[in-house]
Structure 1
Amino acid sequence: MTADYFQSYSVVGLLAVVGVLFVAVAFGAGRLLRPVVPTPEKLLTYECGVDPVGEGWAHTQIRYYVYAFLYVIFAVDSIFLFPWATVFAAPGFGGATLVEMFIFLGFLAVGLLYAWKKGVLEWT
């Protein structure tokens, strides 16, 4: 019984080694086969085909980070709700999964409350 158990892990280990070797060979071949001709144009910062103007630092408004934070809150919530709904219907898991879901939604509610206090949810 234990031989079958470890044999299944050996297949996974062999597949991981083959994957790492494949990536190493691909990177090595790319390094050996690519032309290396540095020119001043190639060493410039490139963004969307526009020549760089001014300094390399740009100011970004903090509200974009808050929007990303809100997106993460709702994305994680939706990703967790679908598997929870399938397990909740299984016999013997109802009470425990219900408590876990309320704890999880409580954490997300704290994040949403933070965004509401900061005024992010107002569309003015």
Structure 2
Amino acid sequence: MAEAFVTGDGHRACGICPSRRFPLGEFDVAERPSRECPFNPEDGHRYTLQGVPVCVHPEKVGLPPSPYKTEGVALVADVVLPDDVAELDGYLRELVHGAAPGALEVLIDLADREIRRTFPEIDPTLALRRAFN
């Protein structure tokens, strides 16, 4: 069985999370554990009733709950910058450190575009570099 809690890798997802085993769109994300996504004691993972791997901690993988695999829901990353430039670094830090594996590149591109649009006086590359430190 996979280690349930991985430490030291910088990502908040559980060690058994399908986001660590599958690319985005190949698993569902549920709001919380429920009867619709029971725990399988044989392999330590959760699956939908249709057998699709499911994550039950959307806040840890940085994805809103949705049946991505089950219903073919497209991953839509949304970057909504704060109104105050003083809050930008904190927002970006949370954005990149809470991003789902595989979504980081998309979020960086969206953030870069939004920073240029919302705060034209800010260098988006420097702002994003600060977010990773």
Q: Which TM-score tier does this pair reach, normalised by the shorter chain?
A: under 0.3
**Higher-strand-fraction structure:** 2
Structure ID, larger Rg: 1
TM superposition score normalised by structure 1: 0.23
